Amino acid sequence: MLAKRIIPCLDIRDGKTVKGINFENVVDVGDPVELGAKYARDGADELVYLDITATHEGRKLFADLVRRIAGHLNIPFTVGGGINHVGDAEILLSAGADKVSINSSAVKDPGVIDRIAGGFGNQFVVVAIDAQYADDRWTVYVNGGRIPTEKELFSWAEEAQDRGAGEILFTSMNHDGTKNGYACEALRELSSTLSIPVIASGGAGKKEHFVEVFDRGCADAALAASIFHYNEIPIPELKSYLKQNNIIVR
């Protein structure tokens, strides 16, 4: 069995790591290069950096930042946010990112998955999916979870895989920010349906939630943000706990 991965997620705005709720009350939580290096030292398996700056100038800052991160990091990192074309992916991969994450752009133009995977390889493409459960259906949302679409979680994840996604990063909007645990049933169904790795996002609040998401949810990796940024659960402590509970980690 492959080792389960622990992945801190860092939101980037204007070159700084920030944390907020629905992009409001945003506070600076540290330098993204220093924070990333700290997580690497602490035993994080990978990192995800999400650019939440919509301006062209912000995009240039982000590419420059990716070069700095690549120069200081010894673990893989994925970058996402505003990747709409193969050219956007090429800039970030050339700057040193190991993978790119695409979300809204893939929903609007699914062919972008084929084009990026065709140009660089499936292993470089993470398709992120934000979905909300209501009326017995997981509806896919875009634009940071603000706009519902016609797409349904499981069928869209399968299509993304068929088009060349190397991983699916699923965020349950129902669980995100609650700290009450991940969407284990949906994750289990995703994992049984797909042949590519599934990364769980949304709901981490205590160490037990990570055991649940790997055991019951069958996730390949678990992503979290604030619990790591505010040192609520130190990564070495979490990994030790997972090992005690017979979860294979690096």
Q: Are 227 and 199 in contact (CB under 8 A)?
A: no
**Closest among 177, 220, 229 to 202, alpha carbons compared:** 177
Catalytic residues: 11, 130
Please enumerate in sequence order all residues whose Cβ is within 8 A of that of 165, keeping only pairs 6 or more positions apart, or say none: 113, 117, 122, 125, 126, 127, 196
What is the spatial distance between Cα 3 and Cα 39, in angstroms, rounded to a whole number?
18
Q: Are 1 and 248 in contact (CB under 8 A)?
A: yes
What is the spatial distance between Cα 117 and Cα 126, in angstroms, rounded to a whole number?
10
Residue 242 gets which letter from DSSP? H
> For the CA atoms of 103, 107, 110, 116, what is the dihedral angle to 10 degrees?
-10
- For residue 23, give both structure tokens: 């992009």
Length of the chain measured in residues: 250
Give the CA angle between residues 88, 140, 110 to the nearest 5°: 40
